[in-house]
């Protein structure tokens, strides 16, 4: 059964431009569709954020801001981001569509890969991540699902949706965003995300490619997390006997639990991979892995999700947010087993411990009771109208301190973008809250750019808060070459701030290029310049049918239409190619003609009165062994 038939987006056109044709995949943050850009008539991938996340204005604003940053990351191994926008409640990214499969599909079908194949996939992945790291970004969710392998064999890294700047640490709620099987220990413990977390994930992916299985297993995410924190990734040769030690060293280096011991970014790891490949023989690279090692894949731990960070257990103080308390008390942590033979605490000691705990909890409860009446929480206000937000605050015993306004591409006009303090924050009763209400998208009128030079028009677009889009050049009898003829959309049209505006630029009046082949260089130059064209002489000359110094070739060719002031390139002849003439005197007429024609000459017969019935060559116009221009005529006399 085709589940895409049940998807409400399939068949719709987003933003009046992107026709959604089919659902490709569903992830933890978004659904990916195959779509067609009806404006450019190209197939692309459309990533649409889940509605629950799209309702969070601050999350969407950050998502858009970071997507724009990633769009500037131009690399052949990174899935390109073309466009971003919103349509009703849908927040989307338009991205490059890669026809093919994911690395997860390959591993699921084949199990362990040959070492050469594993390196052929890992190297472009590291090249892509290296470009991101050097540009200041961290992927944070590297896994086989995000490695795309095109039908043409190209490898690309996808889903930079979790990307963060290098120095970002996610520590506001004690939550870690990522996929359990590939999380680095410091992501789990501190929520830090520098390039070394991507290095760790790539080490896990390399292990999985070489062995067909993940290094850490468990019946629950908690068990996998415990192993990340307390156990080294085993050497792949332990699962695949005979695997070269270089692979053990690569995996150990990339997955060191102490981040200080790992390569500092993907570029450094790529250098290690290249050196390791150079040290391996063809037999070592092409070793066939035992397919029996391929294990059934359980994708329950492969989806990107929000996980509670493992925090140290400390007493909860009165100022601590309830959400943080929840994360502390529900953290995914597996206590190590009690060593065999450990002595049990005497019953008397246990009784004393219980009494002490009761005293502590009793004191804590009393403290909570004393303070609970003085504090409340900011109620949910996001996406509510200003009136609804005021009513909710009043019901919570709070007041509105101030109402600010801000533009938003994602939050409906007149509804709350954010509050200070934020929703869920602990606040004293009768205190006040500042609301920020959306004024809707900031719109800009497209300026009238007709008659401006291209560079000036692009600068004016930037000043207006718009971006210069695709430039199309057309002939014009009225607009001088290099000046703007019009825009798409037209001047006066309102567009969101930052939208790209296409420009049509004049190529000037059309000029038909004269055919100057066979002319001398001076005559050709004069004729072309009289037609309003520029002339360039090619650096090299060629042999041709034309005499030395004459024009052998021109580009564009004669009869083509170009713009006034365009350049025509002339290639000068160095004369015809000189070829040694075969000696055919004494040969049969037919044989002589064939020999000369095969050498590149034309042949004429001179029989005279005495040669009407002869069939033997008595003389030739150019003696054998001498040179003549290729293509010239050789006359043979027959007697």
CA distances (Å), origin 7, targets 22, 32, 34, 466: 9, 12, 13, 34
Q: Which helix (H) or strand (E) holds 209?
A: helix 195-211
Active site annotation includes 41: no
CA angle centred on 353, ends 350 and 359, rounded to 5° = 145
- CA torsion, ordered 389, 393, 399, 401, to nearest 10 deg: -40
Which residues does 93 contact at the CB level (< 8 Å), separation at least 6? 46, 47, 67, 81, 83, 84, 161
Q: What are phi and psi of 379, to 5 degrees?
A: -70, 165
- For the chain, the first-to-last Cα distance in angstroms comes to 89
Q: How many CA atoms lie within 13 A of 292 on its CB side?
A: 3
Residue pair 29/161 in contact (Cβ under 8 Å)? The answer is yes
Q: What are phi and psi of 102, to 5 degrees?
A: -100, 165
In the block, tokens 């080294």 appear at: 232
In the block, tokens 């808060």 appear at: 465
* Tokens matching residue 582: 């075969």
CA dihedral sign of residues 297, 298, 301, 305: positive
Q: How many CA atoms lie within 13 A of 98 on its CB side?
A: 24
Instruction: Pinpoint the alpha helices (H) of 215-346.
Output: 221-230, 245-254, 266-279, 282-285, 322-329
Can you say how many angstroms the Cα of residue 507 is from the centroid of all Cα atoms in its chain?
Answer: 34
Residue pair 397/429 in contact (Cβ under 8 Å)? The answer is yes
Q: Which helix (H) or strand (E) holds 150?
A: strand 147-150
CA angle centred on 132, ends 310 and 80, rounded to 5° = 115
* Tokens matching residue 70: 């990633």
Which residues does 340 contact at the CB level (< 8 Å), separation at least 6? none
In the block, tokens 């390039």 appear at: 195
> Residue 560: is the preceding peptide bond cis (ω within 30°)?
no
Q: How far is residue 479's CA from residue 485's CA, in Å, rounded to a whole number?
A: 7
Q: DSSP per residue over 215-252, as a string?
A: S---SSHHHHHHHHHHSPPPPGGGTSTT--HHHHHHHH
Which residues does 222 contact at the CB level (< 8 Å), separation at least 6? 332, 333, 334
Q: How far is residue 134's CA from residue 166's CA, in Å, rounded to a whole number?
A: 9
Which residues does 414 contact at the CB level (< 8 Å), separation at least 6? 385, 386, 437, 438, 440
Catalytic residue among 56, 83, 141, 198: 141
Q: How far is residue 323's CA from residue 321's CA, in Å, rounded to a whole number?
A: 5
* Tokens matching residue 233: 């990734």
* Tokens matching residue 377: 């929480």
Closest among 108, 144, 118 to 295, alpha carbons compared: 108
Residue pair 241/171 in contact (Cβ under 8 Å)? The answer is no
Closest among 600, 583, 367 to 592, alpha carbons compared: 583
Return the active site residues.
Answer: 141
């Amino acid at each position: 059964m085709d589940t895409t038939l049940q998807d409400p987006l399939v068949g719709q056109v987003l933003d009046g431009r992107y026709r959604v044709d089919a659902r490709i995949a569903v992830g933890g943050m978004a659904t990916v569709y195959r779509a067609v850009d009806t404006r450019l008539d190209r197939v692309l991938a459309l990533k649409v954020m889940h509605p629950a996340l799209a309702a969070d204005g601050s999350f969407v604003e950050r998502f858009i801001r970071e997507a724009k940053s990633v769009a500037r990351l131009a690399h052949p191994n990174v899935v390109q981001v073309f466009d971003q926008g919103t349509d009703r409640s849908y927040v989307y990214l338009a991205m490059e569509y890669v026809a093919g499969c994911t690395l997860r599909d390959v591993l699921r079908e084949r199990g362990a890969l040959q070492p050469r194949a594993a390196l052929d996939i890992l190297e472009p992945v590291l090249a892509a991540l290296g470009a991101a790291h050097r540009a200041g970004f961290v992927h944070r969710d590297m896994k086989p699902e995000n490695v795309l392998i095109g039908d043409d064999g190209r490898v690309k890294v996808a889903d930079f949706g979790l990307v963060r700047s290098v120095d970002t640490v996610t520590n506001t709620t004690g939550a870690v965003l990522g996929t359990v099987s590939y999380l680095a220990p410091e992501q789990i413990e501190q929520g830090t995300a520098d390039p070394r977390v991507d290095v760790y994930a790539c080490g896990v992916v390399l292990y999985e490619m070489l062995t067909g299985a993940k290094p850490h297993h468990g019946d629950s995410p908690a068990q996998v997390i415990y192993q990340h924190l307390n156990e080294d990734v085993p050497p792949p040769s332990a699962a695949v006997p005979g695997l070269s030690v270089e692979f053990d060293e690569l995996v150990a280096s990339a997955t060191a639990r102490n981040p200080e011991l790992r390569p500092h970014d993907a570029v450094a790891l790529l250098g290690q991979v290249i050196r390791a490949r150079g040290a391996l023989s063809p037999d070592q690279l092409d070793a066939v892995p035992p397919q029996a090692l391929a294990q059934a894949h359980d994708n329950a731990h492969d989806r990107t999700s929000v996980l509670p960070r493992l925090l140290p257990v400390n007493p909860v103080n009165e100022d601590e947010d309830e959400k943080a308390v929840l994360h502390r008390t529900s953290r995914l942590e597996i206590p190590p087993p009690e060593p065999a033979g450990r002595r049990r605490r005497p019953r008397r000691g246990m009784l004393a411990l219980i009494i002490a705990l009761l005293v502590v909890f009793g004191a804590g409860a009393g403290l909570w009771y004393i303070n609970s009446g003085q504090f409340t929480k900011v109620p949910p206000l996001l996406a509510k109208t200003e009136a609804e937000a005021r009513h909710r605050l009043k019901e919570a015993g709070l007041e509105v301190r101030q109402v600010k306004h801000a533009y938003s591409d994602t939050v409906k006009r007149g509804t709350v973008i954010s509050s200070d303090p934020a929703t869920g924050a602990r606040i004293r009763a009768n205190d006040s809250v500042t609301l920020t209400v959306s004024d809707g998208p900031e719109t800009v009128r497209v300026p009238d750019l007709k008659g401006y030079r291209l560079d000036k028009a692009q600068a004016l677009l930037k000043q207006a808060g718009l971006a210069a889009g695709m430039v199309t050049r057309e002939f014009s009898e009225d607009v001088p070459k290099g000046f703007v003829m019009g825009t798409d959309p037209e001047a006066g049209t309102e567009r969101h701030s930052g939208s790209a505006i296409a420009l049509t630029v004049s190529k000037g009046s059309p000029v038909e290029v004269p055919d100057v082949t066979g002319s001398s260089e001076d005559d050709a130059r004069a004729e072309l310049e009289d037609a309003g064209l520029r002339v360039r002489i090619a650096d090299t000359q060629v042999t041709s049918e034309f005499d030395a110094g004459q024009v052998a070739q021109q580009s564009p060719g004669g009869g083509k239409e170009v713009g006034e002031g365009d350049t025509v390139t002339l290639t000068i002849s160095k004369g015809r190619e000189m070829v040694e003439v075969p000696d055919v005197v004494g040969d049969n007429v037919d044989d002589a003609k064939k020999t000369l024609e095969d050498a590149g000459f034309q042949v004429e017969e001179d029989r005279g009165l005495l040669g009407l019935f002869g069939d033997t060559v008595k003389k030739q116009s150019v003696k054998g062994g001498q040179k003549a221009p290729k293509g010239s005529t050789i006359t043979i006399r027959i007697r």
